[in-house]
């Protein structure tokens, strides 16, 4: 595929944008076929905004999810990609990108092995619970909090970690590999959904 035929994505982020960096790198290396149409944030001071602007990518600052959804829908996107977006998406926003397969065309990366430790601070939750394993989950968004179909998971050991910062460092290194790799097959729309242990899982054909 040429650049113009690559799937169009918007990235939503609230912070430094390390997963944005990983996605940009993968696109540049040719391991992820996608075009970042825009980066949106709820925080004007978010470092990811300056990064996107330096690359000539359109940026949007918008805290109102209704207005943001309306704008994004007008961009004819294939998928919305969450990369450290700290606001819980409202139902109307999610419904704006609803797919008849039973989830939204919104992808999230979560710092735990879902369904364990949903919500905020998954790495911290695992560390404080004295778990020996933590993990990363890539999943589609549905109307619950971190309950959507699971696309990919990867675990890593934390039994020797002395601080939550050590856990986070290990987790981020995995996120930066797992997210672009998983997005590449998601964006091809060549996958099937099967239920395992009572939860839908997505797998490539």
In whole angstroms, give the CA distance from residue 15 to residue 31: 24
For position 61, what pLDDT does the model report? 98
Q: Which residues of 130-158 are buried (b: 16+ CB within 10 A; e: fewer)?
A: ebeebbbbbbbbbeeebbbbbbbbbeeeb
> 137: closest CA among 75, 200, 51, 61?
200
pLDDT, tens digit (0-9, with 9 covering 90-100), for 72-120: 999 999 999 999 999 999 999 999 999 998 899 999 999 999 999 998 8
For position 4, what pLDDT does the model report? 57
The domain that contains 102 carries what CATH number?
3.40.50.170
Q: Which helix (H) or strand (E) holds 181?
A: helix 164-186
Respond yes or no: is residue 201 known to be catalytic.
Answer: no
Q: Give this prediction's pTM.
A: 0.94
pLDDT, average across residues 148-171: 97
pLDDT, tens digit (0-9, with 9 covering 90-100), for 160-199: 999 999 999 999 999 999 999 999 999 999 899 999 888 8
For position 1, what pLDDT does the model report? 41
For position 205, what pLDDT does the model report? 81
The total domain count for the chain is: 1
Q: Which residue range forms the structural domain that includes residue 173?
A: 3-204
Which of helix, strand or coil describes residue 119?
coil
Neighbours of 25 (CB within 10 A): 13
Instruction: Tell me the percentage of the chain whose pLDDT exceeds 90.
Output: 89
pLDDT of 2 higher than 50: no
pLDDT, average across residues 141-149: 91
Instruction: Tell me the percentage of the chain whose pLDDT exceeds 70.
Output: 98
- Could you say which DSSP state residue 35 is in? E
Q: Look up residue 64 and give its two tokens.
A: 């109102």
pLDDT band at 5 (very low <50, low <70, confident <90, very high): confident
In whole angstroms, give the CA distance from residue 69 to residue 110: 22
């Amino acid at each position: 595929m040429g650049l113009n035929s690559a799937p169009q994505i918007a990235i939503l982020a609230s912070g430094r944008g390390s997963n944005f960096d990983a996605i940009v790198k993968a696109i540049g290396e040719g391991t992820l076929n996608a075009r970042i149409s825009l980066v949106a944030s709820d925080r004007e001071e978010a470092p990811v905004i300056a990064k996107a602007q330096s690359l000539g990518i359109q940026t949007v600052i918008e805290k109102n999810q209704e207005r943001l959804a309306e704008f994004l829908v007008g961009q004819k996107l294939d998928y919305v990609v969450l990369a450290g977006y700290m606001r819980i998406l409202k139902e109307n926003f999610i419904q704006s990108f609803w797919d008849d397969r039973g989830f939204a065309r919104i992808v999230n990366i979560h710092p735990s092995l879902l369904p364990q430790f949903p919500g905020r601070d998954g790495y911290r939750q695992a560390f404080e619970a004295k778990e020996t394993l933590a993990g990363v989950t890539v999943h589609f968004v549905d109307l619950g909090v971190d309950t959507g179909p699971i696309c990919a998971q990867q675990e890593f050991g934390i039994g020797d970690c002395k601080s939550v910062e050590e856990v986070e460092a290990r987790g981020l290194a995995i996120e930066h590999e797992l997210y672009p790799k998983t997005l590449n097959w998601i964006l091809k729309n060549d996958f099937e959904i099967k239920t395992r242990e009572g939860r839908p899982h997505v797998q490539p054909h």
